Amino acid sequence: MAHETSRRKLSAIIVCYRDAPAVQIMHERLSAVFEKVGVHYEIIFVNDASPDNAAQVLADMARRDRRVTVINHSRNFGAQNAFTSGMRIATGDAVILLDGDLQDPPELIEQFHARWREGYDVVYGVRVKRETTVFLQFAYKAFYRLFRAASYVPMPLDAGEFSLLDRRVVNALNALPENNRFIRGLRAWVGFKQIGVPYVRPERPFGRTTNSLVKNFAWARKAVLSFSYAPLELIVVLGLVMEVISLLAIIYQIALRLFRPEATPSGFTTMIVLVLFIGGIQLLCLSIIGSYLAHIYDEVKRRPPFIVDSIINPPTQPQPTTQESEPHD
């Protein structure tokens, strides 16, 4: 078994954006874990046009360690596309996705690897707790549960991109043609045998987080548009509810005029309130439809999800195909 394990190769893909102070520590911790597990490995840093000196720090690291590959993007394309960029050139029998800010602890890879050896194709980290504000903890947990209820694919709760993916899963993800990629959703969509490993997600040790309420909202919107038709179904429900309310209001208005004419609402105030209310509902419905149309428009343009400016130490080993990949044990 030990000899079989030694022939395996793992690829770590780390997305870097404003993470220059953390990448050297990430490299050291990853290398220590891979040496402890006893596997061949490569470490792929994707510099998603970070505005700090990450490009220089990564270039120096790649010169010192030939197992380090650096992908520099021409501009910032976002973490989802950066992970995709790394997966396209990774050569390992399994791929591990991590954020570059050290909030995804590399030491958990040992447990990921053990689960993978047991036969699981996808092993993902489950954030049982976040070292952040109470409000954000509640907001994240609430979103994951609402998203799972609305999605047409069973989504794991409290799971981010931090995961180990077998080569078969990586090949399946790389073959998907869509550009608006939501990795954790696509990971659930492709199926295979999956399991979660709980962990506590620490705070970012260096600098300030690049997330904000606006970015989190955009991220949530992308997730819903990619894996849920619930907003469109909501329009149908709103339409039916408004029709019922209108019918009841008409019956009520007629009854008042017949039996209590003095109590019948009159004047422009009632009309203005009703017009504004109905107009707000219509705008909400149009915005939902517009969001789906914009999502479709982005896809049909078929622009590449990222553009690579340069690669340092590109992997040379050919990627194994699904048929060539060996069993886990």
Q: Which pLDDT band, with edges at 50, 70 and 90, does 1 fall under?
A: very low
pLDDT at position 3 is 38
Q: Are strands 194-201 and 40-47 parallel, antiparallel or unpaired?
A: unpaired
Query: Is residue 23 over pLDDT 90?
Result: no
pLDDT at position 323 is 37
In whole numbers, what is the pLDDT of the chain averaged over residues?
A: 79
The two three-digit tokens of residue 158, written as one number: 């409290």
Q: Which pLDDT band, with edges at 50, 70 and 90, does 5 fall under?
A: very low
Query: Is residue 320 over pLDDT 60?
Result: no
**Under a CB-based contact definition with an 8 Å cutoff, are residues 75 and 46 in contact?**
no
Helix axes 54-64, 20-37, angle to 10 degrees: 30
Q: Are strands 122-130 and 194-201 parallel, antiparallel or unpaired?
A: parallel
CATH class for the region spanning 9-211+304-312: alpha beta
The two three-digit tokens of residue 45, written as one number: 């840093």
The pLDDT tens digits for 110-161 are 989 989 988 899 998 888 776 666 766 777 777 767 777 777 778 777 777 8
Of residues 51 and 301, the one with the higher pLDDT is: 51
Share of the chain above pLDDT 70, in %: 81
pLDDT at position 322 is 40
CA distance 66 to 101: 22
Q: Which pLDDT band, with edges at 50, 70 and 90, does 202 fall under?
A: confident
Share of the chain above pLDDT 90, in %: 10
Query: Is residue 215 over pLDDT 60?
Result: yes
pLDDT at position 250 is 73
Query: Is residue 34 over pLDDT 80?
Result: yes
Of residues 34 and 142, the one with the higher pLDDT is: 34
Q: Give me the helices (H) in 94-133, please.
A: 109-117
Indicate the pTM of the whole model: 0.73
pLDDT at position 325 is 42
The pLDDT tens digits for 305-315 are 888 888 888 88
CA distance 140 to 155: 14
